[in-house]
Amino acid sequence: MISHNSPALIPLISLGSAIALPLIAFKKKALAHPFTLLVSFTMVILSFYNIARVWQGERITYHFGGWLPPVGIEYLLDPLSAFIACVINTVAFFVLIHAGGILEREVPHRTVPYYALILLFLCGANGIIITGDVFNLYVFLEIFSLAGYGLIAVGERAAVVASFRYLILGTLGASFYLLGVGFLYIVTGSLNMADLKRIIAVIPVNPALIAALALMVTGMALKMALFPLHGWLPDAYTYAPSTTSALIAPIGTKVAAYVLIRLLFFVFGIKITVDTIPLLDVIGYMAAAGVLYGSLLAIAQKEMKRMLAYSSVAQIGYIGIGLSLANPMGYIGAVLHILNHAFMKGALFLVAGNLRNGSGHSEIPRFDARLRKKYPGGMAAFSVAALSMIGIPPMAGFFSKWYLSLGAVEKSNWVMLAVILISSLLNAVYFTRIWERVYLIKGNEENDDTLLQEKEPLILLVPTLILSFSLILLGLGNSFLVTKIIARIIPPGM
């Protein structure tokens, strides 16, 4: 039964438990965290079960209500969706373990609805990834976004304003996407992705089709925070609770990037996105500008979470660059970077959360050697993740940049190559600022803030360490990942 229903099971489990959670934790609030963990763990197991089956060459589909596509809604697990589902569910699981130690402090008295929102958020994210229907994707996108607005709004005092701005821009993006779906339906008469691909391959290219593509890509670029549509991101990441930042930074923008991959390569196809209109070039130059802009602004920030937010703008640019190259190397780099960046940013935001929990702030000018003495584990996790962000082998971050560079060389696109190399140096600059303070500057004993706790609790430390040290494993195992899994996701005709 599970084998037959498994595509639909992941979003449905989290949707059902989001509704059940407030009832279960009604009397005993302490139940909320173990229950969420259990659900999240089930989702991890299911997604690994799915990828094992997809790996054996199965193409798992599920038809809602027994209606066959293109009439009915189809859920589809192919190597790409199974892979991305594995990535986001795994990262979410570790972030949720961490949440148990920090939420009571950051959102007191509201932990139960917060966990329910997290489950809705995961339902939306998994739904977007698994669905094979462009309108169903819109519905999941809105579930995902609405839960995200709520998760951000419970943060600091200014978080509501950040959340409101995200809502306005997010709704604009979703409306653009929906408008694009309308154009697409008028031109093709279908909403099923596989069916759309067949139809688009044979009909002549017309303005309505291009309008559909442009609208859908603009909408997704807004959700993905592709420069210059990133306006909502820095405030939202900075003011949100630590768990939200650590969850939305790895998952939120990656899901939109996945939709972009799906649309550009699996629905419209390279014939339209490269040969007919220079759409991928536009995405590439926007992304390249974003990489430089994000890295430069990250250097200027004084607050660690805001610095990481701007660095996210830059890292999303890498994914955009990889897609714009439209050759296998660039594509592998982009998909690998979705995985690596999810782990790196997850780990870094968890470190920022630990610092806020322990010392009450995460302002870089106030960092000094006392942090290293008090939190040796957390600082080690930070160092590994930061080395990976800069791209030092054998950390995972090196390999995605390596494939992106190979793709740029293969296409003789020297501008992109220069952008990738320069931004790696800029990454080194903004992480070195923290290293310098933490490892070299002696602590000033006079203004010793007594807020510093003795040790960070294990529940905070262990997930952080696992996420960041798995980057070494991901780096060492990257040839396995690329040849066995990602090589099979390369779209036909690339």
Least separation in angstroms between CB 345 and another protein: 25
What tokens does 346 get?
């997850």
Least separation in angstroms between CB 150 and another protein: 7
| Residue 235 or 456 with smaller CB distance to another protein | 235
Least separation in angstroms between CB 181 and another protein: 8
**The one among 168, 418, 473, 487 contacting another protein by CB under 8 A:** 168
Stretches 94-102, 159-167, 347-355, 366-374: which one binds another protein (CB under 8 A)?
159-167
Which residues have a Cβ under 8 Å from the Cβ of 7 and sit 6 or more positions away?
50, 60, 61, 62, 75, 76, 77, 130
Which residues have a Cβ under 8 Å from the Cβ of 283 and sit 6 or more positions away?
217, 221, 226, 320, 323, 324
| Residue 143 or 291 with smaller CB distance to another protein | 143
The DSSP line for 350-391 is HHHHHHHHHHS--BGGG--HHHHHH-HHHHHHHHHHHHHHHT
Contact flag: residue 160 with another protein (CB under 8 A): yes
Stretches 167-175, 249-257, 288-296, 453-461: which one binds another protein (CB under 8 A)?
167-175
User: Which 178-197 residues touch another protein, going by CB under 8 A?
Assistant: 178-179, 182, 185-186
Which residues have a Cβ under 8 Å from the Cβ of 470 and sit 6 or more positions away?
343
Contact flag: residue 363 with another protein (CB under 8 A): no
Which residues have a Cβ under 8 Å from the Cβ of 296 and sit 6 or more positions away?
426
Exposed (0-12), middle (13-18) or buried (19+): which is 185, by Cβ within 10 Å? middle
User: Which 109-148 residues touch another protein, going by CB under 8 A?
Assistant: 135, 138-139, 142, 146
What SS3 state is found at 196?
helix
Least separation in angstroms between CB 140 and another protein: 11
Least separation in angstroms between CB 264 and another protein: 22
Exposed (0-12), middle (13-18) or buried (19+): which is 453, by Cβ within 10 Å? middle
Contact flag: residue 218 with another protein (CB under 8 A): no
Contact flag: residue 164 with another protein (CB under 8 A): yes
What tokens does 295 get?
């890295």
Least separation in angstroms between CB 306 and another protein: 14
| Residue 153 or 319 with smaller CB distance to another protein | 153
The residue written with tokens 């923290």 in the block is: 434
Least separation in angstroms between CB 134 and another protein: 10
Contact at 8 Å (CB) between 100 and 459? yes
Element (H, E) at 251: helix 242-261
CA distances to 154, 218, 279, 379 from 200, in Å: 44, 20, 17, 51
| Residue 186 or 441 with smaller CB distance to another protein | 186
| Residue 124 or 294 with smaller CB distance to another protein | 124
| Residue 149 or 266 with smaller CB distance to another protein | 149
The residue written with tokens 């560079």 in the block is: 405
Contact at 8 Å (CB) between 490 and 410? no
Contact at 8 Å (CB) between 76 and 137? no
Which residues have a Cβ under 8 Å from the Cβ of 408 and sit 6 or more positions away?
321, 325, 330, 414, 416, 417, 420
| Residue 179 or 494 with smaller CB distance to another protein | 179
Least separation in angstroms between CB 153 and another protein: 6
Contact flag: residue 158 with another protein (CB under 8 A): yes
Size of the site for another protein (CB under 8 A): 24
Cis amide leading into 394 (omega within 30): yes
Least separation in angstroms between CB 158 and another protein: 5
| Residue 144 or 258 with smaller CB distance to another protein | 144
**The one among 42, 55, 62, 175 contacting another protein by CB under 8 A:** 175
Least separation in angstroms between CB 186 and another protein: 5
Contact flag: residue 49 with another protein (CB under 8 A): no
Per CB under 8 A, residues contacting another protein are 135, 138-139, 142, 146, 149-150, 153, 157-158, 160-161, 163-164, 167-168, 171-172, 175, 178-179, 182, 185-186
